[in-house]
């Protein structure tokens, strides 16, 4: 799970104007500390586990003190306003609360949650496991491959959000798995303060990557006298903009900054394993007045409560296929009904499912 991304989503989804302690939705605890985003994050975690029934879970957070990307490019995310104090407080509290509950939490010095997700996915693939990344951030689309899918959390919540795979990614953004980073580098990312190729947006970038396997291949064509191939793909004016030195500089910088590290130290899969100890989990959460019972079933090896989409017979069980098989998905074009539940299958490591929370 992308801890930063989903805690932010929970913060804004549940926040109202400065509630009193014990007020609307119990947004603050009895001592006045903000707690609503923490509650929302734990709710995402429990619901995602119910949907995915993972054999292992890890939660990644951004390093709050330093940023190697900011050191490399000072303008990186520099335009973002200061976070509200209640959000800062809950971001600071979340890793320790979750560690105390028994979760594997990684907050790497100088790096981001995305780097944790990429590193854990690489570790899982090396062990023959499949991975599902749970995030509301589209940056993780760059991780999609035959062993890694992305559950992108949208406004419909966990149950109403799509699982993206190499088969379904092109429906969402028009490029194949493995091309997403180049797509993002070309169009830029305003949320990270990264300008792309001058005048090249999503539509033109997609057309280019339909013809060329990568942006580097397109630039090679321009540099080796095959500019006509690029013109045929995106037109004369767009080719001129793409070849502009500033565009090339922006794209190269973006490719570097958007590359996720795959060598951040993460715990071994055995240390991330579920089921977890229910008493430890509930006791730690209760210190922040987060009280969950039956909804934790997928994390503690329990039985799905009656009425749960993923355990009450509303959807037939689906046995896992071989590594690389398409997992169950829902309509990638928007919220829809929940996907069939996959039963736990921790007996054979090759069929393991790591969920990156």
Domain containing 149 — which CATH number? 3.40.50.1010
Q: Maximum distance among all alpha carbons in the chain?
A: 70
Q: What is the pLDDT of residues 83-131, one digit of tens each?
A: 999 999 999 999 999 999 999 999 999 999 999 999 999 999 999 999 9
Is there a contact between 349 and 127 (Cβ–Cβ < 8 Å)?
Answer: yes
Rounded to 5 degrees, what angle do the CA atoms 302, 303, 304 make?
120
228 with 347, same domain: the answer is: no
284 and 350 share one domain? yes
The structure tokens 């296929």 sit at 321
251 in the same domain as 272: no
Residue that finishes a domain, picked among 243, 258, 273: 258
In three-state secondary structure terms, 92 is helix
* DSSP 3-state of 58: strand
Q: What is the pLDDT of residue 29?
A: 87
Domain span at residue 32 reads 3-173+262-356
Q: What percent of the chain has pLDDT over 90?
A: 77
Residue 134 — φ and ψ, nearest 5°?
-110, 115
**Shared domain check, 118 and 86:** yes
pLDDT score, position 326: 41
Which pLDDT belongs to residue 322?
34
List pLDDT tens digits, range 62-82: 999 999 999 999 999 999 999
Q: What is the pLDDT of residue 337?
A: 30
pLDDT digits (tens, 9 = 90+) for 205-230: 999 999 999 999 999 999 999 999 99
pTM for the full predicted model: 0.85
- The total domain count for the chain is 2
Residue in this structure with the two tokens 């490019």, named with its chain if needed? 73
Q: Let me know whether 50 and 151 are in one domain.
A: yes
Between these two residues, 340 and 71, which has the higher pLDDT value? Answer: 71
Domain limit, last residue, from 226, 258, 290: 258
User: Strand (E) positions, the chain?
Assistant: 56-60, 104-106, 130-135, 148-152, 163-164, 188-189, 194-195, 353-356
CATH of the domain at 240: 1.10.150.20
Which among 225, 252, 222 has a CA at the least distance from the CA of 238?
222
Q: Are residues 186 and 161 in the same domain?
A: no
Q: Same domain, yes or no, for 72 and 141? A: yes
Which of 234, 258, 282 delimits the end of a domain? 258
One domain for residues 193 and 108? no
233 and 301 co-located in one domain: no
End-to-end CA distance of the chain: 1
Looking at residue 335, its pLDDT comes to 35
Same domain, 132 and 60: yes
Residues 189 and 320 in one domain: no
- Let me know: does 355 contact 57? Beta carbons within 8 Å: yes
Mean pLDDT of 23-39: 81
Q: How many whole angstroms separate alpha carbon 36 and alpha carbon 16?
A: 10
Same domain, 235 and 197: yes
- The confidence score (pLDDT) of residue 30 equals 86
Q: Give the residue among 147, 135, 130 at the shortest CA–CA distance from 269.
A: 130
């Amino acid at each position: 799970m992308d801890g930063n991304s989903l805690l932010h989503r929970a913060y804004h989804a549940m926040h109202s104007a400065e509630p009193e302690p014990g007020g609307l939705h119990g947004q603050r605890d009895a001592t006045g500390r903000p707690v609503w985003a923490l509650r929302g994050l734990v709710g995402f975690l429990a619901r995602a586990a119910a949907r995915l029934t993972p054999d292992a879970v890890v939660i990644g957070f951004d390093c709050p003190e330093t940023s190697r990307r900011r050191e490399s490019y000072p303008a990186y995310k520099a335009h973002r306003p200061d976070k509200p104090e209640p959000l800062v407080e809950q971001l600071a509290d979340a890793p320790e609360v979750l560690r105390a509950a028994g979760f594997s939490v990684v907050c790497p010095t100088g790096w981001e949650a995305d780097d944790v997700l990429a590193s854990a996915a690489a570790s899982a693939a090396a062990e023959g496991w499949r991975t599902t990344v749970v995030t509301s951030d589209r940056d993780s689309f760059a991780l999609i491959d035959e062993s890694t899918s992305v559950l992108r959390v949208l406004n419909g919540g966990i149950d109403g959000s799509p699982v993206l795979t190499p088969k379904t990614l092109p429906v969402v953004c028009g490029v194949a798995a493995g091309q997403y980073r180049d797509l993002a580098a070309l169009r830029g990312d305003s949320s990270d303060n990264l300008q792309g190729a001058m005048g090249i947006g999503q539509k033109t970038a997609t057309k280019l990557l339909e013809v060329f396997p990568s942006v580097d291949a397109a630039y090679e064509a321009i540099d080796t006298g095959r500019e006509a191939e690029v013109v045929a793909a995106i037109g004369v004016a767009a080719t001129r903009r793409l070849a502009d030195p500033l565009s090339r500089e922006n794209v190269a910088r973006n490719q570097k900054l958007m590359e996720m590290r795959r060598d951040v130290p993460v715990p071994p899969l055995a240390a991330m394993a579920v089921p977890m100890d229910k008493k430890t989990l509930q006791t730690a959460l209760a210190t922040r007045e987060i009280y969950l019972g039956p909804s934790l079933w997928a994390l503690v090896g329990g039985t799905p409560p009656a009425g749960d989409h993923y355990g009450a017979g509303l959807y037939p069980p689906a046995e896992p296929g071989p590594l690389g098989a398409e997992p169950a998905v829902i309509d990638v074009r928007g919220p829809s009904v929940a996907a069939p539940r996959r039963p736990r299958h921790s007996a054979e490591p090759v069929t393991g499912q790591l969920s990156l929370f």
